[in-house]
Amino acid sequence: MSRIIAGIDIGGTKIAAAVASPDGRIIAKQTFPTEVEKGPHEILERAMNIVGELAREAPGDLTAVGVGCAGPLDVVRGLILSPPNLPGWDEFPLVELLKQRFGVPVVLENDANAAALGEQRFGAGRGFENLVYITISTGIGGGVIVDGRIVRGVGSGAGEVGHMTILPDGPVCGCGGRGCLETLCSGTAIARRAREAIGQGAQSVLSVYFSNGPEGITAARVAEAARSGDRFAGEIWSETIKYLALGIGNIIATLAPEAIIFGGGVAMAGEQLLAPLRQRLIEQVKMAPVKDIRLLQAGLGSESGLYGAIALVADARRDKA
Ligand SMILES: [Zn+2]
């Protein structure tokens, strides 16, 4: 019987699972909502049942499982350590439970690192050995790949690009710091900045959403209004690019990667985000060859992490060989 591997991507809103050939070709996959209120054991049980079903359909001998999960986590001990968006996952022994169920090796990685790897192997990052992946959605996460490998750093603390300080004394961040990139450029932050200004009387086509409840103003609507020529939304968007360029400029000055790949909801704006960002970076960064650094939209959409979970297994094999 042929060999198959499985990948699981666990996030706060959805979980994706797939079985694939050992070279990473997905054979079958399934996505379902996380239902965080059910707690880690019930959620994992469902994910394992789905992997079991997919493996039976494949068919083949399951030989390894790769998992990307929201952090913080301990990859050495295989534990999930209280992620803010997975309440109740405190020292949760994810790896041990998966090993018990399937009787195969299990590799764990944080979700942003997994997504970076997924893009490098199967997405927009193919052919690059040095890249940085940045996801801009409700928060901002990142993963760094140098010489084809994930950079983890001490305590797996590397790659937290959302928490670079951009504006000293800026808005308070969920991490406890101030003025982090995430507090200025995440989808949540873009919407918040627009709501605050409209609440103070700024004129915009977005005001119509505001009057039905401020939460009607989302980052996607700000982007759309900016595209349609709304001056206020255009200013919010430009300010976002300005802050983002500070963060990306620092990354370029430190790593000069071949590519920076943007995923997450805000990156769906594509060239509306990337074209002005490139322009600013060319003006701003002097010591690195910015023109040779590609700024790209993620190629795998919401599946970067799932492909990354599968790529983890291939990497673990290579490390052992
Ligand atoms: Zn922060």
pLDDT digits (tens, 9 = 90+) for 19-28: 999 888 999 9
Share of the chain above pLDDT 90, in %: 86
Share of the chain above pLDDT 70, in %: 98
pLDDT at site 105: 96
Q: What is the mean pLDDT of residues 197-215?
A: 91
Q: How far is the CA of 181 from the centre of ligand 1 (A)?
A: 7
pLDDT at site 157: 86
Q: Kindly state the tokens that stand for 253.
A: 């000055």
Q: How high is the mean pLDDT of the chain?
A: 94
Q: What is the mean pLDDT of residues 65-71?
A: 94
- Write the CB contacts of 309 (distance below 8 Å, at least 6 apart in sequence): 7, 8, 9, 18, 66, 67, 68, 109, 114, 118
- Judged against a pLDDT cut of 80, whether residue 316 lies above it is answered with no
Q: What is the mean pLDDT of residues 85-94?
A: 94
Predicted TM-score (pTM) of this structure = 0.94
pLDDT at site 155: 80
Q: Say which residue the tokens 């999930």 belong to.
A: 80
- Judged against a pLDDT cut of 70, whether residue 272 lies above it is answered with yes
Q: How far is the CA of 84 from the centre of ligand 1 (A)?
A: 13
- Judged against a pLDDT cut of 80, whether residue 315 lies above it is answered with no
Q: How far is the CA of 177 from the centre of ligand 1 (A)?
A: 5
The closest of 261, 267, 307, 319 to 68, measured between CA atoms, is: 307
CA distances in angstroms from 75 to 86, 88, 119, 240, 265, listed in the order given: 17, 18, 21, 34, 27
- Name the pLDDT band for 82 (thresholds 50, 70, 90): confident
- The C-alpha atoms of residue 315 and residue 321 are separated, in whole angstroms, by 10
Q: How far is the CA of 169 from the centre of ligand 1 (A)?
A: 12
> Any bridge partners for residue 141, and if so which?
135
Helix (H, G, I), strand (E, B), or coil: what is residue 13? coil
Residue pLDDT, tens place only, 90-117: 999 999 999 999 999 999 999 999 999 9
- The C-alpha atoms of residue 131 and residue 161 are separated, in whole angstroms, by 13
- Judged against a pLDDT cut of 90, whether residue 321 lies above it is answered with no
Q: Are 150 and 143 in contact (CB under 8 A)?
A: yes
The closest of 111, 102, 114, 112 to 44, measured between CA atoms, is: 102
Q: What is the mean pLDDT of residues 110-126?
A: 96
- The C-alpha atoms of residue 306 and residue 184 are separated, in whole angstroms, by 28
- The C-alpha atoms of residue 116 and residue 158 are separated, in whole angstroms, by 13
Q: How far is the CA of 150 from the centre of ligand 1 (A)?
A: 21
Helix (H, G, I), strand (E, B), or coil: what is residue 232? helix
Higher-pLDDT residue of 319, 147: 147
- Judged against a pLDDT cut of 90, whether residue 257 lies above it is answered with yes
- Judged against a pLDDT cut of 70, whether residue 7 lies above it is answered with yes
Residue pLDDT, tens place only, 218-243: 999 999 999 999 999 999 999 999 99
Residues with CB under 5 A from ligand 1 (ion): 163, 173, 175, 177, 180
pLDDT at site 320: 66
- Name the pLDDT band for 318 (thresholds 50, 70, 90): low
State CA 237 to chain mean position distance: 21
Q: How far is the CA of 138 from the centre of ligand 1 (A)?
A: 13
Q: How far is the CA of 173 from the centre of ligand 1 (A)?
A: 5
pLDDT at site 319: 66
Q: How far is the CA of 56 from the centre of ligand 1 (A)?
A: 43
- Write the CB contacts of 235 (distance below 8 Å, at least 6 apart in sequence): none
Q: How far is the CA of 30 from the centre of ligand 1 (A)?
A: 32
Q: How far is the CA of 65 from the centre of ligand 1 (A)?
A: 31
